[in-house]
Amino acid sequence: MNSSDKIPVFALVFGIAYAVIYVICTELNLPLLTYNPAIVEVGILWQPLKSGPAMYWYGWMLTSALGALAVAFIAIAIPEPWLQRLITFGCVAATAYLVLYTLALFIYDNATVELGFLQSRWLSAAAAVVVAAILSALVPS
Amino acid sequence: MIFWTTLLVIHGLFALALLGAITHQSAALWWSVRDRAGSFVARFRAVPGTPYVTAIILLYVITFILGAWIYTQYRFTARVALEQLRFFRTVGVFELKEHLATIGSIVLPAYWTYWRQPLTQDYANARRHVSLLLAILVWCNFQIGHVVNNARGMGS
């Protein structure tokens, strides 16, 4: 990969990685900082409510930006076939997680017996990783 | 409150300029005409997209920063009032706006990359789609901001 190819790769991977990390940050509430607007106070990582509401959005963006920068720098350092496979893996994993978790919740809602384990995000995430690993291995490089 | 209202008006003006620029560029990309002469619409569609790129990026960044600043005030004033008035849909749609604004900001590096000079034909499709995505995000955010401001705006 020459230097002119690295800029589009960096920009594209940064965007994709940011989106994925941002979703994880919002779902699991992983801010790098918490802002309390009523008392104008910034706290490191997640902070509980103090006086008035706490804002985590800035923290989520910061976490995502740092994570995406790291992923983008790795992306321009590794060979392109690996990168293609990783992008395929990431996209398939994200789609598979969405489909599987939606399906699991649909089954949970309509089942006549209690299937509490279907509510676990980790189960759907693990299944999505397996699906993504199989599919990205099958895709020709 | 005058300070925040002024800031909101400035944010709105930048957003309006951004909306105009991105709409102009997207229309020229997706609905282009070669002949400049003719009606107002034909002239609107015939503009080259390249001169808009830097302006769009700068306007987006400025609008985003101003919006993120005003958001701190909204969070413990306007939003509390909206919740007390049980305007939960309005509050919910504004939650969507913060995520759409974030998506728009992370699209900017790709947008800049695909519009870099000299323009390559390899990225022609990517350029069209990224510009359209940015236009849709800007339009959505503009509409949401407008709805929330009309529900119970700053200073009301």
Model's pTM, two decimal places? 0.84
Question: Chain B residues within 8 A (CB-CB) of chain A?
Answer: 68, 71-73, 75-76, 79-80, 98-99, 102-103, 106-107, 109-110, 112-114, 116, 123
Distances (CA, A) of B75 to A121, B109, B138, B151: 29, 29, 21, 15
| pLDDT (tens digit per residue) in B24-53 | 999 888 887 776 667 777 777 777 878 899
| pLDDT (tens digit per residue) in A10-22 | 998 899 899 989 9
SS3 B41: helix
- Mean pLDDT value of segment A43-54: 84
Calculate how close chain B gets to A60, using CA atoms only, in Å: 10
pLDDT of amino acid B70:
93
Calculate how close chain A gets to B108, using CA atoms only, in Å: 9
| Rg, C-alpha atoms of chain A | 19
Helix (H) or strand (E) holding A34, with range, is strand A33-36
Phi, psi for residue B153 in degrees, rounded to 5: -75, 170
Q: Give the pairing of strands A33-36 and A41-44.
A: antiparallel
* Residue-averaged pLDDT of chain A: 88
Comparing B85 with A140, the larger pLDDT belongs to B85
Nearest CA in chain B to A52: B76
Neighbour tally for A59: CB within 10 Å: 24
Please give the share of chain B, as a percent, with pLDDT higher than 90: 52
Q: How confident is the model at residue A3 (pLDDT cuts 50, 70, 90)?
A: low
pLDDT of amino acid B17:
96
